[in-house]
Chain A
Amino acid sequence: MVSSAVSDFSSDQTPHSRAVLEGPDIHRALTRIAHEILERTKGADGVVLLGIPTRGATLARRLGDRIERFEGVKIPVGSIDITMYRDDLRLKPARPLGHTELPPDGIDGRIVVLVDDVLYSGRTVRAALDALNDLGRPTAVQLATLVDRGHRELPIRADYVGKNLPTAKSEKVKVYLQETDGRDAVLLMKEDAK
Protein backbone atom coordinates (compact mmCIF):
# COMPACT_ATOMS: atom_id res chain seq x y z
CA MET A 1 0.00 0.00 0.00
CA VAL A 2 0.90 3.63 -0.26
CA SER A 3 1.45 3.76 3.46
CA SER A 4 4.55 1.57 3.35
CA ALA A 5 6.74 2.81 0.56
CA VAL A 6 9.34 4.93 2.32
CA SER A 7 12.88 3.87 3.06
CA ASP A 8 14.59 6.67 4.96
CA PHE A 9 14.65 6.68 8.71
CA SER A 10 14.96 10.39 9.35
CA SER A 11 11.22 10.61 9.88
CA ASP A 12 11.07 8.23 12.87
CA GLN A 13 13.17 10.62 14.94
CA THR A 14 10.34 13.09 15.23
CA PRO A 15 7.94 13.17 18.17
CA HIS A 16 5.14 12.51 15.68
CA SER A 17 6.24 8.96 14.99
CA ARG A 18 6.55 5.88 17.16
CA ALA A 19 7.54 2.30 16.55
CA VAL A 20 4.58 -0.03 17.16
CA LEU A 21 6.51 -3.19 16.24
CA GLU A 22 10.27 -3.74 16.54
CA GLY A 23 12.33 -6.51 14.98
CA PRO A 24 11.59 -9.21 17.63
CA ASP A 25 7.85 -8.39 17.50
CA ILE A 26 7.78 -8.84 13.73
CA HIS A 27 9.75 -12.05 14.13
CA ARG A 28 7.22 -13.44 16.63
CA ALA A 29 4.22 -12.31 14.59
CA LEU A 30 5.52 -14.08 11.49
CA THR A 31 6.28 -17.21 13.47
CA ARG A 32 2.73 -17.26 14.79
CA ILE A 33 1.24 -16.68 11.32
CA ALA A 34 3.35 -19.54 9.92
CA HIS A 35 1.96 -21.85 12.64
CA GLU A 36 -1.57 -20.64 11.97
CA ILE A 37 -1.23 -21.33 8.26
CA LEU A 38 0.02 -24.84 9.05
CA GLU A 39 -2.82 -25.41 11.47
CA ARG A 40 -5.59 -24.02 9.28
CA THR A 41 -4.42 -25.78 6.10
CA LYS A 42 -3.54 -29.03 7.93
CA GLY A 43 0.19 -29.07 7.21
CA ALA A 44 0.26 -26.56 4.34
CA ASP A 45 -0.58 -29.26 1.82
CA GLY A 46 -1.22 -27.60 -1.56
CA VAL A 47 -0.46 -24.12 -0.21
CA VAL A 48 1.17 -21.46 -2.38
CA LEU A 49 2.37 -18.21 -0.79
CA LEU A 50 2.06 -15.18 -3.08
CA GLY A 51 3.45 -11.88 -1.82
CA ILE A 52 2.37 -8.50 -3.15
CA PRO A 53 5.56 -6.54 -4.06
CA THR A 54 7.65 -5.14 -2.60
CA ARG A 55 7.39 -5.94 1.10
CA GLY A 56 4.61 -8.49 0.81
CA ALA A 57 6.91 -10.57 -1.40
CA THR A 58 9.65 -10.37 1.24
CA LEU A 59 7.20 -11.41 3.97
CA ALA A 60 5.98 -14.34 1.85
CA ARG A 61 9.56 -15.61 1.54
CA ARG A 62 10.05 -15.35 5.32
CA LEU A 63 6.81 -17.23 5.97
CA GLY A 64 7.87 -19.92 3.49
CA ASP A 65 11.22 -20.31 5.27
CA ARG A 66 9.51 -20.66 8.64
CA ILE A 67 6.99 -23.24 7.43
CA GLU A 68 9.85 -25.25 5.95
CA ARG A 69 11.73 -25.07 9.25
CA PHE A 70 8.72 -26.08 11.37
CA GLU A 71 7.35 -28.94 9.28
CA GLY A 72 10.15 -29.81 6.85
CA VAL A 73 7.89 -29.18 3.87
CA LYS A 74 9.00 -26.81 1.14
CA ILE A 75 6.01 -24.85 -0.11
CA PRO A 76 6.03 -22.80 -3.33
CA VAL A 77 6.55 -19.05 -2.82
CA GLY A 78 6.02 -16.38 -5.47
CA SER A 79 5.01 -12.79 -5.98
CA ILE A 80 2.07 -11.16 -7.73
CA ASP A 81 2.23 -7.59 -8.99
CA ILE A 82 -1.13 -5.86 -8.97
CA THR A 83 -0.21 -2.51 -10.54
CA MET A 84 -2.05 -3.19 -13.82
CA TYR A 85 -5.21 -4.07 -11.84
CA ARG A 86 -5.34 -1.04 -9.53
CA ASP A 87 -8.50 1.08 -9.50
CA ASP A 88 -6.58 4.31 -8.88
CA LEU A 89 -4.18 4.19 -11.86
CA ARG A 90 -5.62 7.33 -13.35
CA LEU A 91 -5.02 9.38 -10.22
CA LYS A 92 -1.24 9.36 -10.67
CA PRO A 93 1.32 9.19 -13.49
CA ALA A 94 1.94 5.65 -14.79
CA ARG A 95 3.80 3.63 -12.17
CA PRO A 96 6.67 1.22 -12.68
CA LEU A 97 5.59 -2.42 -12.51
CA GLY A 98 6.54 -4.82 -9.74
CA HIS A 99 7.71 -8.34 -10.30
CA THR A 100 5.33 -11.26 -10.81
CA GLU A 101 6.91 -14.66 -10.23
CA LEU A 102 4.58 -17.64 -10.15
CA PRO A 103 5.78 -21.02 -8.91
CA PRO A 104 6.50 -23.41 -11.81
CA ASP A 105 3.44 -25.55 -11.05
CA GLY A 106 1.13 -22.54 -11.12
CA ILE A 107 -1.81 -21.90 -8.82
CA ASP A 108 -4.55 -24.09 -10.31
CA GLY A 109 -6.11 -26.26 -7.61
CA ARG A 110 -3.89 -24.78 -4.89
CA ILE A 111 -4.69 -22.83 -1.75
CA VAL A 112 -3.22 -19.40 -2.40
CA VAL A 113 -2.25 -17.33 0.64
CA LEU A 114 -1.83 -13.70 -0.41
CA VAL A 115 0.72 -11.87 1.73
CA ASP A 116 0.85 -8.08 2.13
CA ASP A 117 2.51 -5.81 4.67
CA VAL A 118 -0.38 -3.47 5.56
CA LEU A 119 -4.11 -4.07 5.12
CA TYR A 120 -5.93 -0.74 4.88
CA SER A 121 -8.69 0.07 2.37
CA GLY A 122 -8.67 -3.46 0.93
CA ARG A 123 -8.29 -2.12 -2.60
CA THR A 124 -4.88 -3.70 -3.09
CA VAL A 125 -6.33 -7.07 -2.13
CA ARG A 126 -9.25 -6.60 -4.51
CA ALA A 127 -6.76 -5.89 -7.31
CA ALA A 128 -4.79 -9.00 -6.31
CA LEU A 129 -7.97 -11.11 -6.51
CA ASP A 130 -8.58 -9.79 -10.04
CA ALA A 131 -4.98 -10.55 -11.00
CA LEU A 132 -5.28 -14.08 -9.61
CA ASN A 133 -8.39 -14.59 -11.69
CA ASP A 134 -6.32 -14.06 -14.86
CA LEU A 135 -3.54 -16.37 -13.70
CA GLY A 136 -5.45 -19.50 -12.78
CA ARG A 137 -8.12 -21.00 -10.56
CA PRO A 138 -7.05 -21.68 -6.97
CA THR A 139 -9.37 -23.83 -4.81
CA ALA A 140 -9.24 -21.15 -2.12
CA VAL A 141 -7.62 -17.78 -1.50
CA GLN A 142 -6.60 -16.60 1.96
CA LEU A 143 -5.00 -13.38 3.12
CA ALA A 144 -2.12 -12.82 5.53
CA THR A 145 -1.02 -9.35 6.59
CA LEU A 146 1.59 -8.10 9.02
CA VAL A 147 -0.50 -5.10 10.10
CA ASP A 148 -4.26 -4.56 9.86
CA ARG A 149 -4.86 -0.87 10.39
CA GLY A 150 -8.61 -0.83 9.73
CA HIS A 151 -10.63 1.62 7.60
CA ARG A 152 -11.77 -0.95 5.07
CA GLU A 153 -13.52 0.39 1.97
CA LEU A 154 -14.41 -3.04 0.60
CA PRO A 155 -15.83 -6.24 2.14
CA ILE A 156 -12.42 -7.83 2.65
CA ARG A 157 -10.83 -9.30 5.79
CA ALA A 158 -7.56 -11.02 6.61
CA ASP A 159 -7.28 -14.67 7.66
CA TYR A 160 -3.94 -14.18 9.39
CA VAL A 161 -2.99 -10.89 11.08
CA GLY A 162 0.34 -10.03 12.69
CA LYS A 163 -1.02 -7.08 14.62
CA ASN A 164 -4.32 -5.23 14.68
CA LEU A 165 -3.36 -1.59 14.85
CA PRO A 166 -6.03 1.01 15.58
CA THR A 167 -5.19 4.09 13.54
CA ALA A 168 -6.69 7.37 12.49
CA LYS A 169 -7.07 7.89 8.75
CA SER A 170 -4.75 10.86 9.02
CA GLU A 171 -1.93 8.64 10.30
CA LYS A 172 0.55 6.68 8.21
CA VAL A 173 1.88 3.18 8.78
CA LYS A 174 5.34 2.39 7.48
CA VAL A 175 6.84 -1.07 7.37
CA TYR A 176 10.63 -1.47 7.19
CA LEU A 177 12.13 -4.87 6.44
CA GLN A 178 15.75 -5.94 6.71
CA GLU A 179 15.95 -7.12 3.07
CA THR A 180 14.79 -3.83 1.54
CA ASP A 181 15.31 -1.21 4.24
CA GLY A 182 18.15 -2.49 6.41
CA ARG A 183 16.10 -3.14 9.55
CA ASP A 184 12.77 -4.50 10.80
CA ALA A 185 10.21 -2.10 12.25
CA VAL A 186 6.65 -0.88 11.89
CA LEU A 187 6.18 2.84 12.50
CA LEU A 188 2.99 4.78 13.10
CA MET A 189 3.30 8.42 12.16
CA LYS A 190 1.08 11.44 12.33
CA GLU A 191 0.22 12.91 8.96
CA ASP A 192 1.77 16.30 9.79
CA ALA A 193 5.15 14.67 10.49
CA LYS A 194 7.54 15.91 7.85
Chain B
Amino acid sequence: MNRHLISAGDLSRDDALLILDTAEELARVSERSIKKLPTLRGRTVVNLFFEDSTRTRISFEAAAKRLSADVINFSAKGSSVSKGESLKDTALTLEAMGADAVVIRHGASGAPHRLANWVHGSVVNAGDGTHEHPTQALLDAFSMRRRLGALDGRTVTIVGDVLHSRVARSNVLLLATLGADVTLVAPPTLLPVAVDTWPCAVSYDLDAVLPKSDVVMMLRVQKERMNAAYFPSEREYSRRYGLDRDRFAKMPDEAIVMHPGPMNRGMEIAAEVADSPRSTIVEQVANGVTIRMAVLYLLLGGETA
Protein backbone atom coordinates (compact mmCIF):
# COMPACT_ATOMS: atom_id res chain seq x y z
CA MET B 1 0.00 0.00 0.00
CA ASN B 2 1.06 3.60 -0.59
CA ARG B 3 2.18 5.73 2.31
CA HIS B 4 -0.69 8.16 1.68
CA LEU B 5 -4.37 7.74 0.91
CA ILE B 6 -5.20 10.58 -1.46
CA SER B 7 -7.41 8.97 -4.09
CA ALA B 8 -9.51 5.84 -4.18
CA GLY B 9 -7.98 5.34 -7.63
CA ASP B 10 -4.55 4.76 -6.05
CA LEU B 11 -5.76 1.58 -4.40
CA SER B 12 -5.12 -1.71 -6.17
CA ARG B 13 -7.71 -4.44 -5.84
CA ASP B 14 -5.45 -6.18 -3.30
CA ASP B 15 -5.05 -2.96 -1.28
CA ALA B 16 -8.79 -2.38 -1.22
CA LEU B 17 -9.56 -5.96 -0.19
CA LEU B 18 -6.86 -5.79 2.51
CA ILE B 19 -8.49 -2.66 3.97
CA LEU B 20 -11.96 -4.27 3.86
CA ASP B 21 -10.73 -7.55 5.41
CA THR B 22 -8.85 -5.65 8.13
CA ALA B 23 -11.99 -3.64 8.87
CA GLU B 24 -14.00 -6.86 9.09
CA GLU B 25 -11.76 -8.03 11.94
CA LEU B 26 -11.68 -4.60 13.59
CA ALA B 27 -15.48 -4.36 13.57
CA ARG B 28 -15.49 -6.74 16.53
CA VAL B 29 -13.52 -4.23 18.60
CA SER B 30 -16.51 -1.88 18.54
CA GLU B 31 -18.71 -4.64 19.93
CA ARG B 32 -16.65 -5.48 23.00
CA SER B 33 -16.60 -3.69 26.35
CA ILE B 34 -13.01 -2.40 26.02
CA LYS B 35 -13.10 -0.69 22.64
CA LYS B 36 -9.41 0.00 22.47
CA LEU B 37 -6.27 -1.52 20.97
CA PRO B 38 -2.72 -0.50 21.94
CA THR B 39 -1.42 -0.63 18.37
CA LEU B 40 -0.73 3.05 17.64
CA ARG B 41 0.46 4.02 21.11
CA GLY B 42 2.86 6.94 20.85
CA ARG B 43 1.78 7.91 17.33
CA THR B 44 0.26 11.30 16.64
CA VAL B 45 -2.63 11.85 14.24
CA VAL B 46 -3.50 15.44 13.31
CA ASN B 47 -6.98 16.22 12.08
CA LEU B 48 -6.51 19.24 9.82
CA PHE B 49 -9.94 20.50 8.84
CA PHE B 50 -10.21 23.59 6.65
CA GLU B 51 -13.91 22.90 6.06
CA ASP B 52 -16.67 22.17 8.52
CA SER B 53 -17.31 18.52 9.01
CA THR B 54 -18.46 17.16 12.31
CA ARG B 55 -19.13 13.56 11.38
CA THR B 56 -15.95 12.88 9.41
CA ARG B 57 -13.74 14.56 11.99
CA ILE B 58 -15.36 12.75 14.91
CA SER B 59 -15.15 9.49 12.99
CA PHE B 60 -11.41 9.88 12.38
CA GLU B 61 -10.92 10.99 15.97
CA ALA B 62 -12.75 7.95 17.35
CA ALA B 63 -10.80 5.65 15.01
CA ALA B 64 -7.42 7.07 16.05
CA LYS B 65 -8.32 6.94 19.75
CA ARG B 66 -9.48 3.33 19.55
CA LEU B 67 -6.02 2.51 18.26
CA SER B 68 -4.45 4.49 21.16
CA ALA B 69 -2.97 7.22 18.94
CA ASP B 70 -2.75 10.79 20.21
CA VAL B 71 -5.13 13.07 18.34
CA ILE B 72 -4.64 16.77 17.71
CA ASN B 73 -7.54 18.63 16.16
CA PHE B 74 -6.28 21.50 14.09
CA SER B 75 -9.18 23.62 12.94
CA ALA B 76 -7.78 25.93 10.30
CA LYS B 77 -11.05 27.56 9.37
CA GLY B 78 -11.03 31.31 8.86
CA SER B 79 -7.39 31.60 7.85
CA SER B 80 -7.00 34.69 5.69
CA VAL B 81 -3.66 33.75 4.19
CA SER B 82 -3.81 32.68 0.56
CA LYS B 83 -4.33 28.95 0.21
CA GLY B 84 -0.94 27.77 -1.05
CA GLU B 85 1.00 29.72 1.55
CA SER B 86 -1.20 28.91 4.49
CA LEU B 87 -1.22 25.23 3.67
CA LYS B 88 2.54 25.10 3.44
CA ASP B 89 2.99 27.04 6.68
CA THR B 90 0.53 24.72 8.36
CA ALA B 91 2.42 21.74 7.01
CA LEU B 92 5.65 23.03 8.53
CA THR B 93 3.91 23.50 11.87
CA LEU B 94 2.63 19.92 11.74
CA GLU B 95 6.10 18.68 10.94
CA ALA B 96 7.41 20.47 14.00
CA MET B 97 4.74 18.79 16.12
CA GLY B 98 5.88 15.39 14.91
CA ALA B 99 2.66 14.32 13.24
CA ASP B 100 2.78 10.70 12.04
CA ALA B 101 -0.38 11.16 10.01
CA VAL B 102 -2.33 14.17 8.81
CA VAL B 103 -6.02 13.76 8.05
CA ILE B 104 -6.95 16.69 5.84
CA ARG B 105 -10.28 18.11 4.72
CA HIS B 106 -9.88 21.08 2.39
CA GLY B 107 -12.12 23.10 0.10
CA ALA B 108 -9.61 23.03 -2.72
CA SER B 109 -9.31 19.91 -4.87
CA GLY B 110 -5.73 18.66 -4.77
CA ALA B 111 -4.79 20.18 -1.39
CA PRO B 112 -3.95 16.75 0.17
CA HIS B 113 -1.75 15.97 -2.80
CA ARG B 114 0.21 19.19 -2.23
CA LEU B 115 0.42 18.53 1.50
CA ALA B 116 1.89 15.07 0.88
CA ASN B 117 4.96 16.72 -0.66
CA TRP B 118 5.59 18.82 2.43
CA VAL B 119 5.21 16.44 5.36
CA HIS B 120 7.04 13.25 6.24
CA GLY B 121 4.03 11.50 7.76
CA SER B 122 1.12 9.83 5.97
CA VAL B 123 -1.56 12.04 4.46
CA VAL B 124 -5.15 10.84 4.48
CA ASN B 125 -7.61 12.71 2.29
CA ALA B 126 -10.83 13.33 4.24
CA GLY B 127 -12.43 15.21 1.35
CA ASP B 128 -10.88 17.79 -0.97
CA GLY B 129 -13.19 20.18 -2.80
CA THR B 130 -15.23 18.33 -5.41
CA HIS B 131 -12.43 15.83 -6.00
CA GLU B 132 -12.31 12.79 -3.69
CA HIS B 133 -13.24 11.33 -0.32
CA PRO B 134 -11.62 7.88 -0.36
CA THR B 135 -12.49 6.74 3.18
CA GLN B 136 -16.17 7.42 2.46
CA ALA B 137 -15.94 5.17 -0.61
CA LEU B 138 -14.22 2.50 1.48
CA LEU B 139 -16.87 2.62 4.19
CA ASP B 140 -19.60 2.48 1.55
CA ALA B 141 -17.98 -0.57 -0.06
CA PHE B 142 -17.59 -2.11 3.40
CA SER B 143 -21.27 -1.47 4.19
CA MET B 144 -22.30 -3.03 0.87
CA ARG B 145 -20.09 -6.05 1.40
CA ARG B 146 -21.45 -6.67 4.89
CA ARG B 147 -25.01 -6.66 3.55
CA LEU B 148 -24.56 -8.29 0.14
CA GLY B 149 -21.28 -10.21 0.18
CA ALA B 150 -18.59 -9.81 -2.50
CA LEU B 151 -19.10 -6.87 -4.85
CA ASP B 152 -18.02 -8.53 -8.10
CA GLY B 153 -20.79 -8.13 -10.66
CA ARG B 154 -23.08 -6.17 -8.30
CA THR B 155 -24.89 -3.22 -9.84
CA VAL B 156 -24.61 0.06 -7.96
CA THR B 157 -26.60 3.14 -8.92
CA ILE B 158 -25.41 6.51 -7.68
CA VAL B 159 -28.07 9.20 -7.96
CA GLY B 160 -27.96 12.96 -7.68
CA ASP B 161 -25.47 15.77 -7.51
CA VAL B 162 -22.49 13.98 -9.05
CA LEU B 163 -20.92 17.26 -10.20
CA HIS B 164 -20.22 18.49 -6.68
CA SER B 165 -19.73 15.08 -5.12
CA ARG B 166 -16.32 13.82 -4.09
CA VAL B 167 -18.16 10.81 -2.69
CA ALA B 168 -19.41 9.84 -6.15
CA ARG B 169 -15.99 10.07 -7.79
CA SER B 170 -14.25 8.05 -5.09
CA ASN B 171 -17.03 5.47 -5.13
CA VAL B 172 -16.92 5.05 -8.91
CA LEU B 173 -13.15 4.50 -8.84
CA LEU B 174 -13.20 2.08 -5.91
CA LEU B 175 -16.26 0.11 -7.02
CA ALA B 176 -14.77 -0.32 -10.49
CA THR B 177 -11.61 -1.70 -8.84
CA LEU B 178 -13.73 -4.10 -6.81
CA GLY B 179 -15.56 -5.34 -9.90
CA ALA B 180 -19.00 -3.74 -9.41
CA ASP B 181 -20.96 -2.15 -12.26
CA VAL B 182 -21.74 1.47 -11.50
CA THR B 183 -24.40 3.64 -13.13
CA LEU B 184 -24.61 7.35 -12.42
CA VAL B 185 -28.06 8.93 -12.63
CA ALA B 186 -28.31 12.71 -12.58
CA PRO B 187 -29.67 15.67 -14.50
CA PRO B 188 -27.21 16.52 -17.32
CA THR B 189 -26.36 19.78 -15.55
CA LEU B 190 -25.15 17.91 -12.46
CA LEU B 191 -22.70 15.62 -14.27
CA PRO B 192 -19.04 16.60 -14.66
CA VAL B 193 -17.75 17.33 -18.16
CA ALA B 194 -15.41 14.35 -18.37
CA VAL B 195 -17.82 11.81 -16.92
CA ASP B 196 -17.49 9.71 -20.11
CA THR B 197 -13.91 8.91 -19.08
CA TRP B 198 -15.05 7.46 -15.72
CA PRO B 199 -15.32 3.68 -15.42
CA CYS B 200 -19.13 3.70 -15.23
CA ALA B 201 -22.36 4.08 -17.20
CA VAL B 202 -24.56 7.20 -17.20
CA SER B 203 -28.33 7.47 -17.32
CA TYR B 204 -30.86 10.28 -16.99
CA ASP B 205 -33.78 7.99 -16.21
CA LEU B 206 -33.91 6.81 -12.60
CA ASP B 207 -37.06 4.70 -13.04
CA ALA B 208 -35.42 2.61 -15.78
CA VAL B 209 -32.33 1.84 -13.69
CA LEU B 210 -33.91 1.09 -10.29
CA PRO B 211 -35.29 -2.41 -11.02
CA LYS B 212 -31.79 -3.72 -11.87
CA SER B 213 -29.91 -2.16 -8.95
CA ASP B 214 -28.48 -4.09 -6.00
CA VAL B 215 -27.50 -0.82 -4.33
CA VAL B 216 -29.00 2.65 -4.73
CA MET B 217 -26.82 5.41 -3.31
CA MET B 218 -28.47 8.79 -2.99
CA LEU B 219 -26.24 11.88 -2.92
CA ARG B 220 -26.97 15.06 -1.06
CA VAL B 221 -27.85 18.07 -3.20
CA GLN B 222 -25.02 20.37 -2.20
CA LYS B 223 -26.74 23.71 -2.16
CA GLU B 224 -23.73 25.41 -0.62
CA ARG B 225 -21.61 24.59 -3.65
CA MET B 226 -24.23 25.56 -6.22
CA ASN B 227 -23.30 28.84 -7.82
CA ALA B 228 -25.71 28.57 -10.77
CA ALA B 229 -29.20 27.28 -11.54
CA TYR B 230 -28.59 23.57 -12.09
CA PHE B 231 -32.27 22.61 -12.00
CA PRO B 232 -35.51 24.61 -12.22
CA SER B 233 -36.82 23.96 -8.72
CA GLU B 234 -36.24 21.67 -5.75
CA ARG B 235 -39.69 20.25 -6.28
CA GLU B 236 -38.93 19.30 -9.86
CA TYR B 237 -35.58 17.77 -8.85
CA SER B 238 -37.25 15.77 -6.12
CA ARG B 239 -39.96 14.50 -8.51
CA ARG B 240 -37.46 13.31 -11.12
CA TYR B 241 -34.46 12.21 -9.05
CA GLY B 242 -35.69 11.79 -5.47
CA LEU B 243 -36.11 8.32 -3.96
CA ASP B 244 -39.71 8.30 -2.76
CA ARG B 245 -41.93 5.41 -1.66
CA ASP B 246 -43.11 4.54 -5.19
CA ARG B 247 -39.59 4.36 -6.56
CA PHE B 248 -38.44 2.40 -3.51
CA ALA B 249 -41.09 -0.20 -4.38
CA LYS B 250 -39.56 -0.66 -7.84
CA MET B 251 -36.24 -1.79 -6.40
CA PRO B 252 -35.50 -5.52 -6.07
CA ASP B 253 -36.48 -6.93 -2.66
CA GLU B 254 -32.89 -7.48 -1.55
CA ALA B 255 -31.57 -4.13 -2.77
CA ILE B 256 -30.26 -1.63 -0.22
CA VAL B 257 -30.39 2.16 0.01
CA MET B 258 -27.37 4.23 1.01
CA HIS B 259 -26.70 7.90 1.69
CA PRO B 260 -23.39 9.43 2.79
CA GLY B 261 -25.21 12.01 4.95
CA PRO B 262 -26.19 14.56 5.94
CA MET B 263 -29.56 13.96 4.28
CA ASN B 264 -32.11 16.43 2.99
CA ARG B 265 -35.17 14.39 3.96
CA GLY B 266 -37.99 14.93 1.51
CA MET B 267 -35.60 16.28 -1.13
CA GLU B 268 -33.38 13.50 -2.49
CA ILE B 269 -34.75 10.81 -0.17
CA ALA B 270 -38.14 10.31 1.48
CA ALA B 271 -38.10 9.96 5.27
CA GLU B 272 -39.72 6.53 5.26
CA VAL B 273 -37.15 5.23 2.76
CA ALA B 274 -34.29 6.59 4.86
CA ASP B 275 -35.70 4.85 7.95
CA SER B 276 -36.46 1.52 6.26
CA PRO B 277 -34.61 -1.64 7.36
CA ARG B 278 -33.09 -1.80 3.89
CA SER B 279 -31.40 1.55 4.41
CA THR B 280 -27.77 1.33 5.63
CA ILE B 281 -27.53 4.99 6.59
CA VAL B 282 -26.96 4.44 10.31
CA GLU B 283 -24.66 1.44 9.72
CA GLN B 284 -22.56 3.61 7.44
CA VAL B 285 -21.67 5.85 10.39
CA ALA B 286 -20.54 2.92 12.58
CA ASN B 287 -18.70 1.36 9.64
CA GLY B 288 -16.95 4.70 9.08
CA VAL B 289 -15.09 4.42 12.39
CA THR B 290 -14.14 0.82 11.63
CA ILE B 291 -12.84 1.47 8.11
CA ARG B 292 -10.83 4.49 9.32
CA MET B 293 -9.26 2.31 12.01
CA ALA B 294 -8.25 -0.11 9.28
CA VAL B 295 -6.76 2.67 7.14
CA LEU B 296 -4.84 4.21 10.06
CA TYR B 297 -3.57 0.79 11.14
CA LEU B 298 -2.38 -0.14 7.66
CA LEU B 299 -0.72 3.27 7.10
CA LEU B 300 0.84 3.70 10.56
CA GLY B 301 0.89 0.27 12.21
CA GLY B 302 4.03 -1.05 10.56
CA GLU B 303 7.50 0.29 10.05
CA THR B 304 7.70 3.87 8.85
CA ALA B 305 10.03 4.74 6.03
Contact = CB atoms under 8 A, between A and B. Distances in A.
Interface of A: 81, 84-85, 89-100, 130, 134-135
B36 A93 contact: no
Contact of A99 (B1, B25, B302): B25
A3 B32 CA distance: 31
Contacts of B301: 84, 89, 94-95
Classify chain B's interface size. Answer: 20 to 34
A90 B38 contact: no
A32 to B, nearest CB: 33
Interface in B251-305: 297-304
B34 A97 contact: no
B34 A92 contact: no
Nearest to A101: B28
A130 B18 contact: no
Interface in B176-201: none
Contacts of A99: 25
B32 A97 contact: no
B32 A94 contact: no
Contact of A134 (B36, B299, B304): B36
A94 B39 CA distance: 11
User: Which 5 A-B residue pairs are closest in the complex by CB-CB distance?
Assistant: A94-B302, A94-B301, A93-B302, A97-B25, A84-B39
Interface string B1-23: 10000000000000000100110
B112 to A, nearest CB: 20
A96 B302 contact: no
Given A85-B38, A89-B302, A94 B25 contact: no
B226 interface: no
Given A93-B302, A94-B1, 15 more contacts: A81-B25, A84-B38, A84-B301, A89-B39, A89-B302, A91-B303, A94-B300, A95-B301, A95-B302, A97-B21, A97-B22, A97-B25, A98-B25, A100-B28, A130-B38
Contacts of B28: 100
B209 interface: no
